[in-house]
Structure 1
Amino acid sequence: MIKVFTVLIQFRGSHYQLGFEQGQDLKDSVLLKNRRTQWQKRRKRQFFTDVSEAVELLNQFGPGLVAELQGLADGLAWTFEQAVKEFSGYYLEEERSGCSIMTGTDFLVRNYDSHPSSYEGRLVVYQPSDGGYASIGPSMQITGRMDGINEKGFAMGYNFTNRIGSGDGFVCNMIGRILLENCATVDEGIELLKAIPHRSSFSYILFDRTGESVVVEASPRKVVVRPANMCTNHFELLKEENRYQSDESIERLNRIKAQWRPSLSTRQAYQFLTFVVPNDK
Structure 2
Amino acid sequence: MLGPHVPVSSSPMTTILAPFATDVGGVLIALWSNPTSLLGQLAAHPATYQESKFGLKHRITAIDSGAFGMTSTHNIDKLEGARRLIETAIDLFFDNKDSLSVHNLAYSAFKVLFDLYPHKSGDGFSKQIDELIGREGWKSMSGIANFLKHADKDPDALLQSHHPIQGMIIIVFAVILFRRISGDLSLKMKAFDYWTDELAYDEIGIKEVDENAERAALFKQIRDNIKSLPFDHQIAIGKKMYKDFMETFERATRMIEKGQSKGLSFTQILDEHLGTSRM
TM bucket, shorter chain: under 0.3
- TM-score w.r.t. length of structure 2: 0.22
Of the two structures, which has the highest relative contact order with CA contacts closer than 8 Å and spacing of 6 or more?
1
Structure with more of its chain in helix, by fraction: 2
CA radius of gyration, larger in: 2
- TM-score w.r.t. length of structure 1: 0.22
